[in-house]
Amino acid sequence: MEHDANHSVIMVTAYGDVELAVRAVKEGAVDFVLKPWQNSKLVATINTAIQLQNSRKEVKSLKEKEQNLKAAMKKEPAVIIGESPRFMRVLEIVAKVAKTDANVLITGENGTGKEVIARELHRQSSRANEVMVSVDMGSLSETLFESELFGHVKGAFTDAKEDRAGKFEIAKGSTLFLDEIANLSLPLQAKLLAALQNREIVKVGSNKKVPIDIRLVCATNSDLNSLVRKGEFREDLLYRINTIQIEIPPLRERVADIPLLADFFLGIYSTKYNNPKLKFDDEVMGKMKQYAWPGNVRELQHAVEKAVILSEGDILTRHNFIFPENTRVEASACTLEEMERQMIEASIGQHEGNLSAVATQLGITRQTLYNKIKKYEL
């Protein structure tokens, strides 16, 4: 028999001694009704018990939302920095999609700011009054997946000492952000797909279906289409989460944003580490724009913080940073095609996607450039 700890219990008995009544209340009963009862009084008692039960559930839900809110508040606030054409295009798509409840897949390399874009989608959505709920799918083990996302009831497994709401329930009326979605195994993908298709979940240890009301946003740095072809990701799940795809360009393809981001992080960390007069010299900013930043915005942020901590004067120079000569593949290890691809990709980033300028710099026609972009899937 399934038991819900939130249920209210009313004891009905023909033996109305005080000792029994006190014991019943201590054991968790909310009221005590003597036989024979008056119908009006019994109905009033039941209504009170139902209200108490609903209040308990509401308090529990509020506590879980409060915990999620505290976790969200500990994170640094998401700030959108950028004015390059490719990044502005991303923001245009965000503005169009945010007001809908369409499922969104955010793709891009590590460190490009996928969660920042997810939070901006939520901020501009009709669900913005609720707290966005985030789950790092890469950190979930096979055994914790269902409990974390769907919740569990008391006694469902050894450590289940009380009922617990899952992330789907906590995100009711809000946005659920599933990061690193490609890390799910095929069996877990099937369980997630079933929840999304049916718009309901079943807690571990229960057989009661719970409807869900979430706006789903997923993110990955993997090529999901390639994983589908390899049989490592379900095609039907990809279609389900990918109503709209937003690709965030790497930092090397939005060079104009590097000075803006560097100045923004400098402002944060020079204040944090009590050196508000710090500035970049012209040479180091040029080096920053030439560097490929394989770790993208996150690498730039950490580089600026490290430079601020180790600074000895009011000016940050190239000597406060480490810019490896080769940030991707050693030239000696490259094929001609790999070198050509890298050269085209770097030129596109340098010219902010202006293909005429890229073709001129590389000494090829625009049609040849188009063909090579298609060939290398740039």
For residue 163, what are its two tokens? Answer: 């009922």
Q: Where, residue-wise, is CATH 1.10.10.60 in the chain?
A: 331-376
Which of 163, 162, 160, 133 has its CA nearest to residue 144?
A: 160
pTM for the model stands at 0.69
Confidence of residue 21 (pLDDT cuts 50, 70, 90): low
What architecture is the 251-320 domain classified under in CATH? Answer: Orthogonal Bundle (1.10)
- Kindly report, residue by residue over 272-293, the tens digit of the pLDDT: 999 988 999 989 999 999 899 9
Q: Which CATH number fits domain 331-376: 1.10.10.60, 1.50.10.20, 2.40.400.10, 3.40.50.150?
A: 1.10.10.60
CA–CA separation, 134 vs 178, rounded Å?
6
The pLDDT of residue 5 is above 90: no
Fold of 85-247: Rossmann fold (3.40.50)
pLDDT at 66: 58
Question: Which whole number is the average pLDDT over 155-173?
Answer: 85
pLDDT at 18: 60
Question: Which whole number is the average pLDDT over 125-151?
Answer: 89
Q: Where, residue-wise, is CATH 1.10.8.60 in the chain?
A: 251-320
**Burial of 36 (C-beta count, 10 Å sphere; 0-12/13-18/19+):** exposed
Question: Which whole number is the average pLDDT over 222-247?
Answer: 95
pLDDT at 333: 47
Mode of pairing for the β-strands spanning 244-247 and 104-107: parallel
Q: Are the C-beta atoms of 234 and 189 separated by less than 8 Å?
A: yes
Poorest-confidence range of 24-33, 141-150, 192-201, 289-298? 24-33
pLDDT at 191: 94
pLDDT at 327: 46
Q: Where, residue-wise, is CATH 3.40.50.300 in the chain?
A: 85-247
The pLDDT of residue 70 is above 80: no
